[in-house]
Structure 1
Amino acid sequence: MEGSKMIDSDTAWSAVMRRDRAFDGQFVTGVLTTGIYCRPSCAARHPNRTNVRFFANGADARAAGLRACKRCLPDEVSRDEAAVMAAIDEIRGAEDAPSLTALAQLTGYSPTHFQRVFKRAIGLSPAAYARALREERARDALTGGTSVTGAIYEAGYSSASRFYEGTKGRLGMSASDWRDGGKGRVIHWSVIETTLGAMLVAATDKGVCCLSFNEGVDDLRARFPKAELVAGGEGFRDLFETVTATVEQPVMATAVDIPLDVKGTAFQQRVWDELRRIPAGETRSYGQLAAALGNPKASRAVGGANGANNIAVLIPCHRVIAHDGGLGGYAYGTQIKAELLRREQAE
């Protein structure tokens, strides 16, 4: 790639063929026969590969004598990024979530267009991002021992009713549970023999909260030190059997609707959601995952969120590999990771 070694030509061409918006802003595609350069996601008919050169940015492409495509406006990408960052700063600094109209006026876009720009970059609408930010702040405050009432107002909710309405079904545990580290919650668990070795699976009444390999109840207690741990249970037999079947056939992991009870920040939740979007049999690097989330420079943070995942296979962090194509690390050993990938790719 001209002016950059961050993305190899094969990866860039693959992104162009998919018209992958996640790569917009990372490079531009120069077409020598037409003399123009485009975003990777440009809707124009794909050029012949032999007529294409990739450039790190529009400036490099213009230096080579090319001009910007009037259809996809590749130089607008940086403007979009600046607008999104300005909006994020505004949302984070405001006591009440700014309206879409106010954010659009701030950035110089129409409300409809800015909504599209923001969601393409972040994966959430501005309103959803503001809600996720409040939830994350509430989690942090509750986990840190702040009282429920204090955490509600510290996170930016105007009342307790707004907090419970806004976070219903998304925090997993209730506000008091978060403050007390899960105290009072009942977690049913079992260690099941599988072809991948001993598997620990645990669930609350809301869904699976832990799936790991070569671990036992002591490891589960370390994760949930204040919860009541109960072995087995007829009421969870069907769920655990479904989980076991999914582990034995990991290609099912994104197809079977298994309820999950997960704990994480807004960013971690986004990473975990993106992991579940990776088709069985395919892999992504940390950089590609970060790009899909709209923040190509966040690969280290993506790696941290990946490592914080307590639910193996069902949230398929094994589908993330090193940028050079190697397996990379895995909490439960690369042998299990390799076998999971082999099974998916054999389907």
Structure 2
Amino acid sequence: MPDPEACWDAFARRDRAMDGRFVGAVLTTGIYCKPSCPARRPRRENMLFLPDPAAARAAGFRACLRCRPDEAGRDRLAVEAARALIAGAETPPTLDEVATHAGYAPHHFHRLFKRETGMTPAAYARALRAERLKAALGEEGSSVTQAIYEAGYNAPSRAYADAERHLGMTPSAWKDGGRDVEIRYALVPTSLGTALVAATEKGLCRISFDEDEADLRRRFPHAQIWPADARLAAMAKQVAALVDDPAAGADLPVDVNGTAFQQAIWAALRAIPPGETRSYAEIAAAIGKPGAVRAAGTACGDNGLAVLVPCHRVLRSDGGMGGYAYGLERKRALLAREKKG
């Protein structure tokens, strides 16, 4: 359960993603509601936050007839049951099979599952298989073909299509340290120090500080790594300008590998308006996983596109700076520049 102030903030925003995670009980009316309840909000001092409807009932409160908070808990359990079914299946189950297992009509459960997880049941199954493929490709002695079938794919063609989407490379390239992938790089002077900017033919794959060609080669030991061409030089110039004015944003192509969870976190980071910040808890809640605060912090740390994917906009819940891969002084500087803008 989030801390009371995070709960109050979720109620104030009527955050549907927090439904089923806790309830708010109103001391003056004796009613408990889910966070997204459309009713008028009571004063903060009249709110008590409890972990679930059972705790609210035990404390003498009754369920709101408008938002029906007890159903949110049932919805959450149904989605968890569906996720377990998908994770345990050798081949992805159909929507009808998932919905029947959860006890809902297919069309209704499709919307419910997407609301809770941020993706449809079919997309969730594909993401799970892609993550299994990534893990299998990393096993010592495992061939690409063996990894594909161990991950639950019936045919290599589907595996390659998913891998292009989720890993940023084909399975063979990922397995072999980027073999046959061409990466161009530039070391660019910026007002916050020298930045490494690197890209494949698809888009930027690395923006970092305090790294050089040797670091890039360690990340992709079998890739073909070359100095910048005109295309990358133009992108590197935009990255340098972004360091000076991070609020300006930049429409640059990217090619990064990451799990479905990481990609969701990075998308949530890019959705933070310039000049604003979010807590790690808010980022986790934004992708429908409010209990994954620590994992959200790890995904922020795994961000390979500094400044472009603005992980510097994430703070601790108490307002503290938290961490930053390239030093807190750079993080403070980027935040200060955005506020001035």
Of 207-216 and 140-149, more deviation after overlay is shown by 140-149
Work out whether 1:58 is the aligned partner of 2:75.
Answer: no
Q: Deviations over 1:81-127 (max 9, x none)?
A: 22112111111111221111111111111112212221122111110
Residue of 304, 318, 324 corresponding to 1:310:
304
* 166 and 229 in structure 1: CA distance in 2 versus 1, 3 angstrom threshold: closer
- Name the TM-score, length of structure 1 as normaliser: 0.91
Question: Gaps spanning 5+ residues in structure 1: where?
Answer: none
Question: Is the Cα contact below 8 Å between 2:17 and 2:288 reproduced in 1?
Answer: yes
Q: Within 1, Cα distance between the matches of 2:279 and 2:145?
A: 41
Q: Which residue of 1 aligns with 2:226?
A: 230
Deviation at 1:47, TM superposition (A): 3.3
Report the counterpart of residue 243 of structure 1 in structure 2: 239
Q: Aligned residue for 2:135?
A: 140
- In the alignment, residue 36 of structure 1 is paired with which amino acid? I
Matches within 5 A, 1:23-102: 23-102=18-97
**CA offsets 1:6-61 (integer angstroms, 9 cap, x no match):** 4133x333221211123223332223444321111112233344543333332333
Structure 2 residue corresponding to 1:298, chosen from 292, 297, 304:
292
**After the TM superposition, which residues 172-321 of structure 1 pair with which residues of structure 2 at under 5 Å, given as runs?**
172-253=168-249, 256-321=250-315
SS at match of 2:255: coil
Q: TM-score, normalised by structure 2?
A: 0.92
User: Does the residue aligned with 1:323 lie in a helix, a strand or coil?
Assistant: coil
Tell me the secondary structure at the aligned position of residue 188 of structure 1: strand
Superimposed CA distance per residue, residues 229-258 of structure 1 (whole angstroms, 9 cap, x where no aligned partner): 2122123222222222222221233xx321
CA gap of 1:318–1:30, structure 2 versus 1, over 3 A, is same
Deviation digits for residues 163-192 of structure 1 (CA, Å, limit 9, x no counterpart): 234444443111211121101211111111
Kindly indicate whether residue 164 of structure 2 is the aligned counterpart of residue 131 of structure 1: no
Q: Check 1:165–1:213 CA distance in 2 against 1; reply closer, same or farther (3 A cut).
A: closer
Please show how residues 323-338 of structure 1 align to structure 2 within 5 Å.
323-338=317-332
Structure 2 residues without counterparts, runs of 5 or longer:
none
2:337 corresponding residue in structure 1: 343
Tell me, in whole angstroms, the C-alpha distance in 2 between the residues paired with 1:169 and 1:97: 18
Structure 2: how far apart are the matches of 1:186 and 1:166?
Answer: 21
Equivalent residues of 2:191, 2:243 under 8 A apart: no
RMSD of aligned residue pairs (Cα, Å): 2.0
| Distance in structure 2 (CA, Å) of the matches to 1:175 and 1:50 | 55
Amino acid in the other structure paired with 2:26? V
Question: Are 1:110 and 2:78 an aligned pair?
Answer: no
Deviations 1:53-90 (A, max 9, x none): 33333233334432111222212222222211211111
Provide the C-alpha distance between the structure 1 equivalents of 2:4 and 2:25, rounded to a whole number of angstroms.
Answer: 15
| Amino acid in structure 2 at the alignment position of 1:240 | A
SS at match of 1:251: coil
| Identical-residue share of aligned pairs (%) | 53
283-292 or 303-312, which moves further after superposition?
A: 283-292
CA contact (8 A) 1:286 1:299 kept: yes
Partner of 1:197: helix, strand, or coil? coil
Task: State how far apart, in whole Å, the 1-side matches of 2:163 and 2:220 are.
Answer: 21
SS at match of 1:252: coil
Using the alignment, how far apart are the partners of 1:342 and 1:79 within structure 2? 44
Does 2:316 correspond to 1:322? yes
Q: Higher mean Cα deviation, 279-288 or 153-162?
A: 279-288
Residues 197 and 213, structure 1, Cα contact 8 Å, conserved in 2: yes
Question: Shift in Å at residue 206 of structure 1?
Answer: 0.8
- Match among 154, 158, 175 for residue 154 of structure 2: 158
Runs of 4+ in 1 over 6 A off after TM superposition: none
